[in-house]
A = this chain, B = another copy of it.
């Protein structure tokens, strides 16, 4: 099997959105008149974004999920994606699993593969995703207002928890480990919630590098500060049963700086609290209020007694030691 057979067998499907050109030098497509395009790209490298032990089906899912998560953070509706793939060898079982996981998620969101590239080399997966959003409706990092409540969707810290189990730093009962591992290997992008928050949230970002670090991007872009109270880390829907097995200090580290969560962090005015809850209910995703936007530039993290947490929460940075 050669490069072109590989593409034909595992990555060719009937075109819907693309008007022509799938398999040509370019894919051609006619954007919906009056809509804005949202574009994002993510590159996944073995050992950095996934372990070699991950099932190919889960990896196919995750490769698209992290991109859909970026669209969700902007409130965009997924339309299409391109896939570039560097493979060490031609492994049909791997390709079958990977493409199955990839297309299962793509189909669930009506997101069409419109082009790609395959080459031989160290395993590397690069997806560029396209979505659409009505002009002016996109959620940005820069819209947070003083007085806004800060929310997160779903639960945070589980992906990091699973990683620490793999690293041998934490022990966990098998069932709890499998649940955490699923969050790490097969994250669920909050596609419906992102769109439901248009007109409700003032700012939004997806939590990929770690909650505190990603909140920092919102604060910087918006020119505001924030107070995060950590009562919710003690007891809320945002902390999974697996993470609740850990002592509070380690739980804090994983929830606030774990990374790889692919939950949405967003801010909304207090008078939108009911609208936020209704959007969350409609999308069947819990949301938890974790703090409030303040004036100034600082970020304060308070423990359950209201005492500032002195520890630094270091987010993921690919080029920091």
Contact of A38 among B21, B37, B71 (CB under 8 A): B21
Whether the Cβ atoms of A24 and B74 lie closer than 8 Å is yes
Q: How far is B83's CA from A41's CA once the two chains are assembled, in angstroms?
A: 8
The answer to whether the Cβ of A317 comes within 8 Å of any Cβ in the partner chain is yes
The answer to whether the Cβ of A141 comes within 8 Å of any Cβ in the partner chain is yes
Q: Determine how close the nearest CB of chain B comes to the CB of A43; give it in whole angstroms.
A: 4
B-chain residues with CB within 8 Å of residue A71 when the two chains form the complex: 25-26
Q: Interface residue tally of chain A, by bracket?
A: 35 or more
The answer to whether the Cβ of A96 comes within 8 Å of any Cβ in the partner chain is no
The answer to whether the Cβ of A235 comes within 8 Å of any Cβ in the partner chain is no
Complex copy number for this chain:
2
* Contact segment of A118-126, A156-164, A268-276: A118-126
Whether the Cβ atoms of A25 and B73 lie closer than 8 Å is yes
Whether the Cβ atoms of B3 and A141 lie closer than 8 Å is no
The interface bits of chain A over 114-152 (1 if a CB of B lies within 8 angstroms of the residue's CB, else 0) are 111111111010101011010100101110000000000
The answer to whether the Cβ of A300 comes within 8 Å of any Cβ in the partner chain is no
Given contacts A120-B45, A126-B84, contact A29 B25 (CB under 8 A): no
B-chain residues with CB within 8 Å of residue A84 when the two chains form the complex: 41-43, 126, 128
Contact of A43 among B25, B38, B48, B124 (CB under 8 A): B124
Whether the Cβ atoms of B47 and A121 lie closer than 8 Å is yes
The interface bits of chain A over 73-88 (1 if a CB of B lies within 8 angstroms of the residue's CB, else 0) are 1101000101111110
- Looking at A74, A76, A84, A85, which has the most chain B CB atoms within 10 Å of its CB? A84
- Looking at A28, A34, A114, which has the most chain B CB atoms within 10 Å of its CB? A28
Contact of A122 among B25, B39, B45, B204 (CB under 8 A): B45
Could you give 11 example pairs across A and B, Cβ below 8 Å?
A: A6-B319, A24-B74, A26-B40, A26-B73, A27-B38, A28-B138, A41-B82, A41-B115, A45-B86, A87-B319, A124-B126
Residues of A within 8 A of B (CB): 1-4, 6, 19-21, 23-31, 33-34, 36-43, 45-49, 69-71, 73-74, 76, 80, 82-87, 90, 114-122, 124, 126, 128, 130-131, 133, 135, 138, 140-142, 204-206, 221, 317-320
